Chain A
Amino acid sequence: MLTSPIALNTIRFVLLVLAQVLIFNRLNFLGSINPMVYVLFFYWYPIRINRPLFLFLGFLLGFSIDIFLDTMALHAMAALTVAFSRPVLMRFCFGANFEFQGFTFKSTTKVQRVTFLALLILVQHIVFFTFEMLSFSHILLILKKIVFTGILTLVLCVLLSSLFATETD
């Protein structure tokens, strides 16, 4: 049905924003842990991309969530940085051959994919929580938030990505 990548990614974009705002930011698991699952957008996005467009989409995704949650531009900053660092992380996880035409996600191992996802989440969480506090005296609190929220985000993202596994790319 959804063969057009533009339609697919538009729907993904909208659904991820709504899921993040209406479901995952209301979890408040153990008091204050709200996983940031919209990072899946960057995990699912096609490998061969128009980079400026991808950066802009990342920014837009984060900023839409920011407007709903009144978090200034923190999610935008995190999402933008994730989008910017994605090629580097891909090279790190899948080796240099990910740039070749024949490369697909299918040809990678499960470990490689989870590592890739975990690194995306790490970048996102470090940027988000550092700028949320913006104070060195709270460094322990920041680290605590990065670790706990990061773990929950990773678990949920692995579950969601296997639930909505795509055949393309």
Chain B
Amino acid sequence: MQRIFNFILNNKNAFLYVVLLLFCLVVTIRSHSYHQSRFFNSSKWLTGTILSAQTAITDYFHLKEENQRLVKENEQLRLQLFNDGNLKTQDEVPTGAFEVINARIIKNTYASPRNYITLNKGETDGIEQDMGVITPLGVLGIVENTSAGYATVQSVLNTKSNINAKIRNTNYFGSLIWDGMDYDVVQLVDIPRSASVTVGDTITTGAMSSIFPENIPIGVIKKYDLNQNQSSYTIQVDLFNDMANIKNVYIIRNKDRQEILELQKSTNAN
């Protein structure tokens, strides 16, 4: 026993190194297959405060650009509204399954294989895990962790990301994933061989998810190949979003999600 203690004491640095390294490995590798760590992420109070203090300053440099973007989006929405003939006054809130909450990005990365985005809204604004996040141009990601005032989002540019998507105006759907290579291009896999795929077609979210509403744009088909066993297509999708330059986002809340999940759970249990 004495010898073991002496051995440990003599090599205490190596032991300390191994213990700390093991901790790091557990945190890193666990999050490969499971969610990002609930305790160590940038949605926490201290990190959120520092990051939002920084964006409070840097945002001023993009105000004009951001304004133009918002006006353009409004113009497009107006156009849709007028032509659908369903105008409402400001205090008449449309009823339906989906609610929208706006938020601002306070941290965005796109250079690593697993990118997370931090937003300046959290639980006090009604944000929960697994809500969809979009921009005026297209899909951005899914909420992963929340604190009182901040939330982290698993970006579509994350090798763990997996979003249900389809080719517009067809019902062929597949999974949207990212191979970690290029931050403009994501992959749509599992589209069956019988689908007619053309370069330039639009990819939108599918109806198979309770997170996003159907038909939210994602990108256009850049090129496509059959996969290794020749049974389905692997499609390279050019994103509509410029992932390096995003400021304002919308978080989508599906009021029916809980009910859908419970129903699916009880169906699976039987």
Contacts and interface: CB of A to CB of B under 8 A. Distances in A.
Contact of B112 (A51, A56, A71): A71
A133 B180 contact: yes
Interface in A91-149: 131-134, 138, 141
A80 B181 contact: no
A73 B183 contact: no
Given A70-B152, A134-B32, A28 B41 contact: no
A81 B21 contact: yes
B25 interface: yes
B116 A70 contact: yes
A52 B14 CA distance: 9
A72 B37 contact: yes
Q: Identify which of A32, A56, A72 gathers the most chain B CB atoms within 10 Å of its CB.
A: A72
Nearest to B53: A22
B183 A31 contact: yes
A70 B13 contact: no
A55 B181 contact: no
B20 interface: yes
A73 B23 contact: yes
A22 B50 CA distance: 9
B42 A67 contact: yes
B36 interface: yes
A67 B107 CA distance: 12
A64 to B, nearest CB: 9
Given A28-B244, A74-B28, A77-B28, A67 B111 contact: no
A73 B51 contact: no
A73 B152 contact: no
Contact of B111 (A18, A32, A68): A32
B251 to A, nearest CB: 18
Interface string A54-74: 011001000100111111111
Contacts of A56: 16, 20
A141 B113 CA distance: 11
A8 B160 CA distance: 41
A73 B30 CA distance: 11
Interface residues of A, number: 35
A34 interface: yes
Contact of B54 (A22, A63, A66): A22
A84 interface: yes
Interface string B169-181: 0000000000011
Interface residues of B, number: 38
Given A28-B111, A133-B180, A70 B41 contact: yes
A9 interface: no
B42 A69 contact: yes
A72 B180 CA distance: 17
Contacts of A131: 28
Given A71-B112, A138-B180, A76 B36 contact: no
A77 B24 contact: yes
Nearest to B48: A68
Given A67-B40, A70-B41, A52 B12 contact: yes
Contacts of B109: 25, 69-70
A161 to B, nearest CB: 24
Contacts of A66: 40
Contacts of A51: 13
A138 B181 CA distance: 10
Given A68-B51, A70-B118, A72-B31, A80 B20 contact: yes
B96 to A, nearest CB: 33
B195 interface: no
Nearest to B184: A31
Given A28-B111, A68-B42, 20 more contacts: A22-B50, A28-B110, A32-B183, A33-B111, A52-B13, A55-B17, A55-B20, A59-B24, A67-B47, A68-B51, A69-B42, A70-B42, A70-B118, A70-B152, A71-B112, A72-B27, A77-B21, A77-B24, A84-B13, A132-B113
5 contacts: A71-B112, A72-B37, A74-B24, A80-B24, A84-B17
